[in-house]
Amino acid sequence: MRHQKLKNAAEFENTRDDVFERIASRYDLLCDLFSLGIHRIWKRRVSDLVSEEPWDNLLDVASGTGDIVLKLLQKKKLLSNQKVIVSDICRKMLSIAERKIDDYRENIRFERINAHSINEIDSSSIDVYSISLGLKICDREKAMQEAFRVLKPGGRFVSLEASNIPFNWLHNLYLFYMALCMPFIGWVATGGDSSAYKYLLHGVRDFPSAEDLKTEIESIGFEKVKYERLSLGIVAIHIAVKPECA
């Protein structure tokens, strides 16, 4: 078993470590270094999937520096009835997102939001909830329960997250590469701040497989759960629907 059910894979708690506040200005660089730039392709796929869904209200959680929403806005202009909430628990990350999305400010709202308790959002008020590379540093159960609560019946849950390469030997080789290279890359890019790569490494290593995450999402109450592996399965996108009768 690669994980404990509905656990915080990275064992990260923002009240104990403000690592993302410290590395916010270098976060985009770290993503490029750790993924060799492939994260841009993953995020573009998420934005494409979100843009294909019918929605008036989109909530992007753990937005980081705003890449998903930026790619969505670059792809297509929002309709007058469409509203987007860009959110993150880290103030500095959110500030960077605001600057990056500055040219598309119409119908965009920025909120500092904790994925575990989205008190700022009414129940059954969101059409699409998206979260990218954020579940690994959350208590997945709490985050997905809140996603379920804020979504309207029939609303979509979209998640991009670390996953498993179906071939065990290749997956183990990938984890070995991550364990070998990530500490050095992270240490150089962050000026010796070990937290940045420690949480990411744990989150990747201990996150559930695509199949197990599908089961977890279903246990929250979502239906029609499907997933798409990207880059051989290094990551996967899961899409689920809140039942109409919920």
Mean pLDDT of the chain: 89
* Residue 115 assigned ligand-binding role: yes
Q: Is 107 left (phi over 0), alpha (psi -120 to 50) or beta?
A: left
How high is the pLDDT of residue 1? 42
**Residue 96 in this model has a pLDDT that exceeds 70:** yes
Is residue 4 included in any domain, yes or no? no
* Residue 14 assigned ligand-binding role: no
* Residue 114 assigned ligand-binding role: yes
Which CATH number belongs to the domain containing residue 94 in this structure?
Answer: 3.40.50.150
* Residue 88 assigned ligand-binding role: yes
Is residue 246 included in any domain, yes or no? no
Contact predicate 143/135, CB 8 Å = yes
Is residue 170 included in any domain, yes or no? yes
Look at residue 116 and give its three-state secondary structure.
coil
Per-residue pLDDT reduced to its tens digit, 13-35 = 665 657 788 888 888 988 888 88
> Which two structure tokens, joined as six digits, stand for 97?
């997102």
Is residue 6 included in any domain, yes or no? no
Whole-model pTM? 0.92
Per-residue pLDDT reduced to its tens digit, 181-196 = 777 777 776 676 666 6
Is residue 143 included in any domain, yes or no? yes
Q: Which domain holds residue 175?
A: 19-241
Is residue 9 included in any domain, yes or no? no
Per-residue pLDDT reduced to its tens digit, 82-92 = 999 999 999 99
**Residue 121 in this model has a pLDDT that exceeds 80:** yes
Is residue 158 included in any domain, yes or no? yes
Is residue 3 included in any domain, yes or no? no
Domain count along the chain? 1
**Given the structure tokens 């744990």, which residue do they identify?**
202
Using alpha carbons, list the distances in angstroms from residue 133 to 37, 64, 204.
Answer: 15, 9, 10
